[in-house]
Copies of this chain bind each other. A is one copy, B any other.
Amino acid sequence: MKVEYINPFLAATVNVFNTMLNCPLTRGQPFLKGGAQPQYDVSGVIGLSGSAKGTVVLSLCREAALQAAAAMLGERSETIDADVRDAVGELTNMIAGSAKAKLEEFSLNVSLPTVITGKGHCIDFPRQVTPICIPFECAWGPVAVEVGLDDGAPQ
């Protein structure tokens, strides 16, 4: 996928964390992700389709998931319960929804988010797509966004 496609997702993630969670993110160096490597504790996954196809993964360490949910719901859970999973799905939805608006040329729609839990879970993309991973740090710990987008062009 073209590197310029990543910028809307980067900007959307920073913006959603700032405005929805009042949580500034520090961005690390984006990198191409090869193979299945473990994600953080909780991952939101959402599909994009239109004249390109894609998937966005938002992965949060446990503390970031709990704190993000607390900021959205006004009440802190001590476990990754249904409220926390729902909040992570909604964050993923907001990031993908905001980014797709800046990729107008693909007329993208978002699918339903799903939320993955399970220690050391891995999320792998199809071989024809090399996802770009953007690592972030925040006061609650590490967060990452991964985007794979297939615009039909040779990789």
Q: A residues engaging B (CB < 8 A)?
A: 35-36, 38, 45-50, 53-55, 57, 82, 85-86, 89-90, 93, 109-127, 129, 148-150
State which of B112, B121, B129, B149 has its C-beta within 8 Å of the C-beta of A47. B112
State which of B35, B47, B150 has its C-beta within 8 Å of the C-beta of A82. B35
A-B contact pairs, 28 of them (CB 8 A): A35-B82, A36-B82, A36-B85, A38-B118, A47-B49, A47-B55, A48-B49, A48-B112, A49-B50, A49-B109, A49-B110, A53-B110, A53-B111, A53-B112, A54-B112, A82-B124, A82-B127, A89-B125, A90-B126, A93-B126, A112-B149, A112-B150, A114-B124, A114-B125, A115-B124, A118-B118, A118-B120, A118-B121
* Chain B residues within 8 Å of A111, by CB: 46-49, 53-55, 111
How many identical subunits does the complex contain?
2
Which residue of chain B is the closest to A57 with respect to CB atoms?
B114
Which residue of chain B is the closest to A150 with respect to CB atoms?
B112
Query: Can you add 17 more A-B contacts, CB < 8 Å, to A93-B126, A119-B119?
Result: A36-B117, A46-B111, A47-B111, A48-B112, A49-B50, A49-B111, A53-B109, A55-B113, A82-B124, A112-B148, A112-B149, A112-B150, A113-B126, A115-B124, A116-B116, A116-B123, A118-B118
